[in-house]
């Protein structure tokens, strides 16, 4: 893990609502693993705290994040110019690596909206090992980004793309219609979605790994601000930033 400055190379709208910001850092491009995040100081003085962003893609010595504008941090990032320097601490958090291998045939990737961000790298790691089916859900098609994924199916609340309904509705329908052999879930998105997906995984008796989001200050395990309640083990809480962000959903309390 390092603290470094990286120059912005490109800012691109993937949809009306989702932006990909690419910058150059050979260190991060070499060391980042699927599911890890970067803690970025979006501006010098305001906001005060860094903001965590999942890594979206890596190409040679460049690395990118994808986000939609939800608050102050992301709206400042969306106005960066090419050549601006980003103050980054990373790579942070655990990765999907340790959860990829195992006795299953098909990885089922389930994302809500911008929760898709860690999935291109996960897909790249899975491709040579497992079959992949990806389910993307969002309010509208403007929140769906199917780039760098495999075998993608869509659900939108307004029906503007794919099935009208939630990504869980789509997942349930699809699994009823298809036989993917032994499966394992990987999910990322709003907490309520991940909880519902985790509950469904429990019903099916399959493992489900979710990348959890909480507010954070340091992102490196020192402030203890990003706790999540556990359901197993001798500790009531774990820290999302350094013991996660990826947990098996039955080991944590999602709300």
Residues that bind another protein in the complex, under the rule CB under 8 A? 1-3, 41, 46-50, 89, 214-218, 220-229, 235-237
**Is residue 245 reached through a cis peptide bond, with omega within 30 degrees of 0 on the bond before it?**
yes
As a whole number of angstroms, the distance between CA 78 and CA 210 comes to 27
Cβ closest to another protein, residue 208 vs residue 228: 228
Cβ closest to another protein, residue 108 vs residue 239: 239
Contact, 11 vs 84, CB < 8 A? no
* Crossing angle between the packed helical segments 191-204 and 167-177, to the nearest 10 degrees: 20
Cβ closest to another protein, residue 203 vs residue 234: 234
For residue 88, what are its two tokens?
């980054």
Cβ closest to another protein, residue 100 vs residue 226: 226
Q: Is 195 helix (H, G, I), strand (E, B) or coil?
A: helix
Give me the helices (H) in 20-91, please.
26-31, 72-77
CB of residue 237 to another protein, shortest distance in Å: 6
- Size of the chain, expressed as the number of residues it contains: 255
CB of residue 22 to another protein, shortest distance in Å: 24
Burial 117-126 (b: 16+ CB within 10 A, else e): bbbbbbbebb
CB of residue 3 to another protein, shortest distance in Å: 6
Cβ closest to another protein, residue 43 vs residue 199: 43
As a whole number of angstroms, the distance between CA 150 and CA 120 comes to 9
Cβ closest to another protein, residue 125 vs residue 230: 230
Contact, 30 vs 78, CB < 8 A? no
CB of residue 146 to another protein, shortest distance in Å: 31
Beta pairing class for 85-92 and 2-13: antiparallel
Cβ closest to another protein, residue 11 vs residue 220: 220
Instruction: Tally the C-alpha atoms within 13 A of residue 137's C-alpha that lie toward its C-beta.
Output: 22
Give the bridge partners for 246, in sequence order: 211
């Amino acid at each position: 893990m390092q603290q470094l400055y990286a120059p912005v190379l490109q800012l691109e709208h993937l949809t009306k609502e989702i932006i990909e910001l690419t910058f150059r850092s050979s260190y991060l491009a070499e060391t980042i693993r699927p599911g890890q995040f970067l803690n970025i100081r979006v501006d010098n003085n305001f906001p005060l705290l860094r903001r965590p962003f999942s890594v979206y893609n890596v190409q040679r010595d460049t690395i990118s994040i994808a986000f939609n504008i939800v608050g102050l941090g992301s709206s400042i990032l969306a106005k960066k110019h090419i050549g601006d320097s980003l103050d980054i601490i990373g790579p942070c958090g655990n990765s999907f690596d340790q959860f990829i291998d195992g006795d299953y045939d098909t990885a089922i990737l389930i994302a809500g909206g911008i929760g898709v961000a860690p999935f291109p790298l996960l897909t790249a790691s899975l491709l040579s090992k497992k079959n992949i089916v990806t389910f993307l859900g969002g309010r509208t098609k403007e929140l769906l980004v199917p780039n760098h994924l495999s075998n993608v199916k869509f659900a939108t609340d307004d029906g503007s793309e794919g099935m009208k309904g939630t990504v869980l509705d789509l997942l349930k329908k699809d699994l009823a219609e298809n036989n993917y052999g032994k499966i394992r879930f990987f999910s990322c998105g709003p907490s309520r979605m991940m909880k519902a997906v985790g509950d469904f995984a429990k019903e099916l008796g399959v493992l489900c790994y979710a990348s959890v989001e909480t507010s954070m200050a340091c992102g490196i395990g020192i402030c203890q601000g990003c706790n999540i309640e556990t359901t197993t083990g001798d500790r009531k809480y774990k820290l999302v930033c350094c013991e996660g962000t990826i947990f098996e959903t039955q080991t944590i309390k999602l709300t």
